[in-house]
């Protein structure tokens, strides 16, 4: 009886998951940092990895990239569980929250969100734009509804759709995330969990229209690095003050009791992939046409 009970407890506890593969970030130890992940997880060394640096000039306009349709993002429903999972701060989502549109092949159900951040003096986003790293990045992970479980979805290249939002430092506090940040102190150590008061997911993403975004095919940015993610990285950023940012690294710890910070994977090679951007070539050409027209007009009349 005892060994079975022990086995069940092991399966349900987050600790064995944290221990598997023993991977870490360079801020913890170079011995298990991102450059070593491929030793235990060969997929981490493959050619469609994330994150990447997005070179905006090289992004290809794609007219099929319609606005993402958010369903249930505005609903205040059930309580969600916030957890320090040893690598990040993660919130497990429940309720009927989905995205579709945006040239996604299906409807995708929101499963969890988590963050990647830096330090007081070093930015910590995973994706970079034209070489610029941002202070923090939010990932909202969605699973293709056609698969019955998250682990099943990890086997298919259309399995997941992750929305990436970059944060930009603001002089004012972002009052919409104050309550959320106040909860960090309840989950300092890996395995610690707490329940959040219900809030709509729309509260943590930008208010503005989210019609401009980048799209590419990539991977999970943590082992086992499965190449199953349709990435959407929005141009619109989320404001956050310095003290709000610092609250993450001050309140949270890795399993080695070092402050949790710089928990981002460095950018990976694009290899033979393309990055697409919303908008159409027609719009680009009409913009070019307009400027040529203006130049001609100016030269004639001046
Ligand atoms: C948080 O985790 C630590 C280390 O595992 C444990 O000692 C502590 O009791 C946990 N705290 C709560 C509130 O769960
Ligand atoms: Zn992530």
Q: What's the whole-number mean pLDDT along residues 276-282?
A: 80
Whether residue 173 contacts residue 63, with contact meaning beta carbons closer than 8 Å, is answered with no
d(CA 142, CA 300): 55
Indicate which residue's Cα is closest to atom 14 of ligand 1.
192
Q: If DSSP codes are grouped into helix, strand and coil, which group holds residue 240?
A: strand
Indicate which residue's Cα is closest to atom 4 of ligand 1.
189
Q: If DSSP codes are grouped into helix, strand and coil, which group holds residue 68?
A: strand
Q: With 0-12 CB in 10 A as exposed, 13-18 as middle and 19+ as buried, what is 183?
A: middle
Chain segment 141-178, per-residue pLDDT in tens: 999 999 999 999 999 999 999 999 999 999 999 999 99
Instruction: Answer yes or no: is pLDDT of 27 > 50.
Output: yes
Q: What's the whole-number mean pLDDT along residues 173-195?
A: 97
Question: Measured in angstroms, how far is the CA atom of residue 4 from the centroid of ligand 2?
Answer: 34
- For residue 227, which of 28, 31, 16, 44 has the smallest C-alpha distance? 44
Chain segment 216-240, per-residue pLDDT in tens: 999 999 999 999 999 999 999 999 9
Runs of H (alpha helix) within the chain: 2-12, 15-19, 37-40, 150-153, 178-182, 242-251, 281-301
pTM for the structure as a whole: 0.88
Tell which one of 14, 17, 192 to mutate to probe ligand 1, the residue whose CB is within 8 A of the most ligand atoms.
192
Eight-class DSSP state of 259:
B
The topology under which CATH files domain 8-301 is: Carbonic Anhydrase II (3.10.200)
Indicate which residue's Cα is closest to atom 13 of ligand 1.
192
Measured between alpha carbons, how far is residue 186 from residues 14, 179, 293 in Å?
A: 17, 12, 60
Q: If DSSP codes are grouped into helix, strand and coil, which group holds residue 30?
A: helix
Note if 142 is an active site residue.
no
* Ligand 1 site, CB within 6 A: 189, 191-192
Q: Where do the structural domains in the chain lie, given as residue ranges?
A: 8-301
d(CA 97, CA 108): 9
d(CA 59, CA 243): 34
Chain segment 93-103, per-residue pLDDT in tens: 999 999 999 99
Whether residue 102 contacts residue 114, with contact meaning beta carbons closer than 8 Å, is answered with no
Instruction: Answer yes or no: is pLDDT of 287 > 70.
Output: no
Eight-class DSSP state of 297:
H
Kindly name the residue from 42, 87, 114, 259 that is annotated as catalytic.
87
């Amino acid at each position: 009886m005892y060994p079975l009970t022990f086995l069940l407890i092991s399966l349900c506890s987050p600790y064995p998951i944290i221990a598997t593969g023993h991977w870490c970030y360079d801020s913890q130890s170079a011995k298990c940092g991102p450059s070593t992940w491929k030793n235990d997880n060969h997929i981490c060394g493959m050619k469609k990895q994330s994150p990447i640096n997005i070179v905006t000039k090289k992004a290809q306009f794609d007219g099929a990239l319609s606005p993402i349709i958010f369903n249930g993002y505005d609903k205040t429903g059930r309580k969600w569980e916030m957890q320090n999972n040893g690598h990040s701060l993660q919130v497990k989502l429940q309720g009927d929250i989905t995205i579709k549109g945006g040239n996604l092949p299906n409807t995708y159900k929101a499963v969890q969100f988590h963050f990647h951040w830096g330090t007081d003096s070093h930015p910590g986003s995973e994706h970079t734009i034209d070489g610029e790293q941002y202070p923090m990045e939010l990932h909202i992970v969605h699973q293709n509804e056609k698969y019955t479980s998250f682990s099943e979805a990890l086997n298919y290249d259309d399995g997941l759709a992750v929305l990436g939002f970059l944060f930009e430092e603001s002089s004012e506090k972002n009052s919409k995330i104050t309550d959320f940040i106040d909860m960090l102190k309840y989950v300092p150590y890996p395995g610690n969990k707490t329940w959040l008061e219900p809030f709509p997911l729309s509260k943590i993403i930008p208010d503005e229209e989210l019609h401009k975004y980048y799209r590419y095919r990539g991977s999970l940015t943590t082992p086992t690095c499965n190449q199953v993610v349709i990435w959407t990285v929005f141009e619109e950023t989320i404001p956050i003050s310095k003290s709000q940012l610092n609250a993450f690294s001050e309140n949270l710890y890795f399993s080695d009791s070092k402050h949790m910070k710089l928990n981002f994977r460095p950018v990976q090679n694009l290899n033979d992939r393309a990055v697409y951007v919303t908008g159409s070539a027609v719009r680009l050409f009409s913009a070019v046409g307009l400027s040529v027209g203006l130049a001609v007009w100016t030269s004639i009349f001046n």
